[in-house]
């Protein structure tokens, strides 16, 4: 048996002013055939899983390119087409194959392509024909299109948000694809359109319980896999929205019935699932009170919409400025994206005191730049943070301390959201000794930061992320979805 694997992934915020070109893929993660590292990445864990399976079971694995760009704005057309064609050419050379596994994100949009993954998968199917098993794993913050479903035999999405299970879900897809290629199962995909869009964190109820019930269906009565596709608020595409996908062993009727039942159940939870969000004044008030009660652990303030993981710049200063104006001190910030400020800090060198302008450069919604006298605490060529078992590069990085304060700010070159406290430790900052910590992330930070935090406050400080579907100017959405219409199912949830 011969299996081909490749990965092409990014998450596109179609409202973001930050364009995505080839340099974005090269700087974040690019591994040509045979050079994927031993550790998995979010969308390429199938490589590592397949390597182990190929050795254990004696089949031939052919590796194509694996690449990922940090979330941003529209992908340059030439960049997408070049990377797509690179992988397709590798597949043609690998023929004949019995199976193909693709590691995708599912929310990539390029100039001229609303559905990059659907385009890629349709071309894969055209190359290998109808009898080769094709499977893919997706991030749940994606768009499940009809073209993708037609092109695939097997699909799943990560179930956890934060995405702590990306290796586990890659293992499931690989297992189902291998079994299908051997004729042991006949996977069929069924879907249900929930006709909604919302934030669905598994770190709290009610989605915690819903996903646990969803997991319990897998392996029962011919149900091979069940996935909740959350959708991606910041993607203006025709098939935006939440869906449920069920893979059965040759039983599409059962799959459709289960997808519908689960889909209507999650629709019934609409409007109750988001994390409690604070505006800045309320966040500062609560943070002071929590810090007074828990002086031994930092209060974590999550700047949830200035999140590079959602495709925006991540250079907003609104929360930090407000804390400084309120007289709060002893703050750690991870991170503010500012490549120019990093260049200045590295040129000055560690220990230097300089006048520095940082943050607030990508647009007017994230606050004004901060002008301050700073001490350069660290200035390094490369730094990184963990995301589960993978490493996320920060690129050239600096840590500056605002003179006359205990405010330490990490300035990075590669845009990335905050995942793990080791983002501080790797740069010599003792996060545990801070009274307050600001992170740029919606929820992926939660699993790693929660054990060390006195409490976590989710802060809605604005910026360019389109977080309110009622106000967002979607121009390509083809159908009515909640909350833009109250009941797009016409009362079906009542029964």
pLDDT score at 495: 43
CA dist 230 → 113, 157, 158, 241 (Å): 21, 10, 10, 7
Count CA atoms within 13 Å of residue 178 on its CB side. Answer: 20
Question: How does pLDDT run along the chain (495 residues), one tens digit per residue?
Answer: 999 999 999 999 999 989 999 999 999 999 999 999 999 999 999 999 999 999 999 999 999 999 999 999 999 999 999 999 999 999 999 999 999 999 999 999 999 999 999 999 999 999 999 999 999 999 999 999 999 999 999 999 999 999 999 999 999 999 999 999 999 999 999 999 999 999 999 999 999 999 999 999 999 999 999 999 999 999 999 999 999 999 999 999 999 999 999 999 999 999 999 999 999 999 999 999 999 999 999 999 999 999 999 999 999 999 999 999 999 999 999 999 999 999 999 999 999 999 999 999 988 888 999 999 999 999 999 999 999 989 999 999 999 999 999 999 999 999 999 999 999 999 999 999 999 999 999 999 999 999 999 999 999 997 779 999 999 999 999 899 999 999 999 876 544
Calpha distance 272→207 (Å, rounded): 9
Q: Rounded to whole angstroms, how far apart are CA atoms 268 and 301?
A: 30
Q: Please, which residues bridge with residue 373 across strands?
A: 355
Other Cβ atoms less than 10 A from the Cβ of 82: the count is 12
- 341-377 burial, b for 16+ CB within 10 Å, e for fewer? bbebbbebeeeeebebebbbbbbebbbebbebebbbb
Query: What is the pLDDT, as a whole number, of residue 59?
Result: 98
Q: Are 66 and 48 in contact (CB under 8 A)?
A: no
The DSSP letter of residue 369 is: P
- The ranges assigned to domains in the chain are 2-268, 277-459
d(C-alpha 155, C-alpha 177), whole Å = 9
**Cα–Cα distance, 246 to 256 (Å, whole number):** 7
Q: What is the pLDDT of residue 363?
A: 83
Q: Burial of 432 by CB count in 10 Å (0-12 exposed, 13-18 middle, 19+ buried)? A: middle
3-class secondary-structure state, position 261: helix
| pTM for the whole structure | 0.94
159 phi/psi in degrees, rounded to 5: -95, -25
Could you give the angle at the alpha carbon of 267 between the alpha carbons of 266 and 272, nearest 5°? 80
- Tokens for 396, please give them: 């050239």
What's the pLDDT at 494?
45
CA dist., res. 170 & res. 53, Å (int): 12
């Amino acid at each position: 048996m011969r299996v081909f694997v490749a990965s092409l992934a990014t998450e596109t915020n179609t409202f973001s002013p930050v364009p995505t070109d080839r340099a974005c893929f090269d700087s974040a993660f690019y591994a040509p055939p045979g050079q994927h590292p031993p550790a998995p990445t979010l969308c390429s864990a199938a490589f590592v899983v397949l390597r182990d399976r190929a050795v254990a079971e004696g089949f031939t694995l052919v590796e194509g390119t694996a690449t990922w760009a940090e979330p941003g704005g529209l992908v340059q057309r030439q960049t997408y087409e070049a990377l797509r064609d690179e992988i397709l050419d590798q597949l043609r050379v690998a023929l004949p194959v019995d199976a193909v596994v693709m590691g995708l994100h599912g929310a990539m949009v390029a100039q001229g392509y609303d559905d990059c993954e659907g385009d890629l998968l349709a071309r894969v199917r055209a190359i290998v024909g109808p009898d080769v098993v094709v499977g893919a794993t997706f991030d749940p913050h994606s768009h499940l299109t009809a073209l993708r479903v037609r092109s695939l035999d097997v699909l799943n999405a990560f179930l956890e948000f934060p995405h702590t299970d990306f290796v586990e879900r890659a293992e499931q897809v690989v297992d189902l694809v291998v079994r299908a290629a051997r004729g042991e199962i006949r996977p069929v995909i069924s879907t249900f359109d929930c006709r909604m869009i919302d934030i669905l964190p598994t770190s709290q109820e009610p989605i915690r319980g819903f996903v646990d019930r969803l997991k319990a269906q897998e392996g029962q009565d011919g149900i091979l896999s069940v996935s909740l596709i959350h959708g991606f608020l910041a993607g203006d595409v025709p098939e935006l929205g939440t869906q449920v996908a069920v893979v059965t062993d040759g039983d599409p009727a059962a799959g459709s019935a289960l997808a519908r039942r689960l889909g209507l159940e999650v629709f019934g939870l609409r409007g109750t699932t988001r994390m409690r969000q604070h505006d800045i004044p309320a966040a500062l008030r609560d943070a002071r009170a929590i810090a007074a009660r828990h002086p031994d652990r930092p209060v974590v303030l999550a700047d949830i919409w200035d999140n590079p993981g959602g495709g925006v710049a991540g250079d907003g200063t609104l929360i930090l400025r407000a804390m400084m104006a309120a007289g709060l001190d002893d703050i750690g910030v991870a991170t503010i994206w500012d490549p120019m400020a990093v260049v200045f800090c590295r040129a000055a060198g560690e220990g230097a005191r300089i006048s520095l302008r940082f943050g607030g450069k990508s647009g007017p919604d994230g606050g004004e730049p901060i002008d301050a006298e700073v001490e350069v605490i660290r200035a390094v060529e490369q730094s990184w943070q963990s995301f589960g078992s993978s490493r996320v590069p920060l690129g050239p990085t600096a840590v500056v301390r605002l003179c006359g304060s205990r405010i330490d700010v990490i300035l990075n070159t590669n845009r990335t959201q905050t995942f793990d406290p080791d983002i501080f430790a790797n740069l010599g900052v003792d996060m545990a000794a801070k009274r307050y910590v600001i992170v740029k992330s919606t929820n992926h930070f939660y699993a790693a930061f929660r054990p060390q935090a006195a409490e976590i406050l989710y802060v809605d400080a604005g910026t360019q992320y389109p977080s309110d579907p009622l106000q967002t100017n979607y121009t390509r959405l083809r159908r009515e979805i909640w909350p833009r219409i109250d009941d797009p199912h016409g009362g079906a949830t009542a029964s």
